[in-house]
Structure 1
Amino acid sequence: MTDSIPDLAQQTEWPSELDDTELEELDQFLRAHAGEEHLLLDGVHGLLTAVGIGPEKIAPDEWLPEILHEPFADEDEGRRVLELLARLNESVELEVETDNYEPILGEVDLDDGDTALSALGWCEGFSRGVDLRARLWESRLGADSHLTELLGPIMALAVEEGVFATDADFAPLSEQEYDECLAQLPGAVSAVAHYWNEAPLTPEELNGPGGDAGENANLKRKRGGRWVH
């Protein structure tokens, strides 16, 4: 199942961007097959974002198991879901390349009956994408504080949502600060992508000692909310 995206992409011409109906279709599939710790659409978007802007390319064979957890019951359904995931992945890459990135975020219900945007799912997915190359991320973060600064809004939101654990001093965000960090997400994503393009991995980093998935790999995963693009 995991090797179907490259084959499908070579055989099919499609528009990269998913329309709202197609996003809803993928969202409904993920919800119908979601376990307690499985990613929903906002989380998948965060995962593909981290994969797309990270230190090295990651093949679908590696990131698909973070999204799909059981065989497809129907072959046509499987091909359709893989197509939607492939196009979502392509759309993330295209948006980053053209500096038009927009995160898919969740919504949470407030006590007054209103709703508010939530970065919880997106940050959860982003953290799992980082986990796939944790050693490379952590090695560079330890050597270059500039990367840490570029990741500032993402880290602040992830710490606020309990997704990232860190020794850094992050004060709780006010509602205004939270919204400001949400607004800064597109810029942070673009800045990190440019960073890795301009300062790629060195041979020493690529061939460095192996490591585990990092301190955030075993965090309790939380789900909730709805996606919003």
Structure 2
Amino acid sequence: MNTPKTEWPSSLDDNELEELDQYLRAHVGEGDLLLDGVHGLLSALAVGPLQVLPEEWLPEVLHEPFADESEGNRVLALLAKLNDSINAELDVDAYEPILGEVETETGPVLSAAGWCEGFSRGIDLRAGLWEKRLADDPQLMDMLGPVMALAVDEGILNADAEFEKLSDEEYDECLSQVPTVLGSVNRYWQAHPVTEAEVEAAVRTAEQEPHTPPPRQRSGHWVH
């Protein structure tokens, strides 16, 4: 009897990624997320403390009515598949971020700006829970170190102290650690789930001090 092969996560193929990218670019406004940003947003939700339903995160991605029902169904199906693929990739340690590509004097280079922007917005959707746990548990902050370094370097997050720009080698090293970071954070929340007290405290804080996200940057072309 043959042993069945392990199924590889069902990610979007290149044509589907291009289709979703083109839709987002055609309907982008100032500060809206492009494909790399959407992937960062969904990645943060996938490894976060509590489930965030589509009706909560879709307004972060879609900002205009669809031209017709078929277009809407197609875009929603692509977004659902992208979202599902992240969880599937994390389950088999095969996660890979969708990154931006920007032109420089020496040619195109990878950029984490858009992905980090989206990841930060995903954290914003459960800001109270993230902020409290990050303050209470240095282990989680240490895990997020490479992603935080990229976000500060790209101006997505503000550093408490003066921050020296990453060298090209340091930037590339942080990029290479993103899959490991997400796997570790995903396992962290599974092993240390939020308590009812933390949820209640986060709700009270949100009601008293609405979270204002920092200014965001836009990224260039995506690559996977």
TM normalised by structure 2 equals 0.91
Counterpart CA distance in 1 for 2:122 and 2:210 is: 10
Instruction: Show the counterpart of 1:26.
Output: 20
User: Given residue 179 of structure 2, which amino acid in structure 1 is its aligned partner?
Assistant: P
Q: Is the 8 A contact 1:135 1:213 kept in 2?
A: no
Instruction: Show the counterpart of 2:220.
Output: 225
- Say what the alpha-carbon RMSD is for the aligned residues: 1.3
Q: Compute the displacement of 1:170 (Å).
A: 3.8
2:205 is paired with a residue of what secondary structure? coil
User: Given residue 191 of structure 2, which amino acid in structure 1 is its aligned partner?
Assistant: E
Instruction: Show the counterpart of 1:192.
Output: 185
User: Given residue 228 of structure 1, which amino acid in structure 2 is its aligned partner?
Assistant: V
Q: Compute the displacement of 1:105 (Å).
A: 0.1
Instruction: Show the counterpart of 2:29.
Output: 35
Q: Compute the displacement of 1:74 (Å).
A: 1.3
Q: How does 1:49-88 map to 2 (within 5 A)?
A: 49-88=43-82
User: Given residue 77 of structure 2, which amino acid in structure 1 is its aligned partner?
Assistant: E
Structure 1 residues 146-199: Cα deviation after superposition (integer angstroms, max 9, x where no partner): 000000000000000000123156432001000000000000011100100010
Q: Is the 8 A contact 2:46 2:87 kept in 1?
A: yes
Which residue among 98, 106, 109 is the counterpart of 1:116? Answer: 109
Q: Is the 8 A contact 2:40 2:119 kept in 1?
A: yes
Counterpart CA distance in 2 for 1:76 and 1:183 is: 38
The unaligned stretches of length 5 or more in structure 2 are 1-8
Counterpart CA distance in 2 for 1:136 and 1:145 is: 14
Instruction: Show the counterpart of 1:10.
Output: none
Q: How does 1:1-229 map to 2 (within 5 A)?
A: 16-112=10-106, 114-168=107-161, 170-208=163-201, 209-211=204-206, 212=209, 214=211, 217=213, 219-229=214-224
Identical residues among aligned pairs (%): 58
Q: Is the 8 A contact 1:134 1:213 kept in 2?
A: no
Counterpart CA distance in 1 for 2:210 and 2:85 is: 27
2:109 is paired with a residue of what secondary structure? strand
Instruction: Show the counterpart of 2:4.
Output: none
User: Given residue 138 of structure 2, which amino acid in structure 1 is its aligned partner?
Assistant: S
Structure 1 residues 83-117: Cα deviation after superposition (integer angstroms, max 9, x where no partner): 000000000111111111000000010113x1100
Counterpart CA distance in 1 for 2:163 and 2:116 is: 16
TM normalised by structure 1 equals 0.89
Q: How many residues align?
A: 212
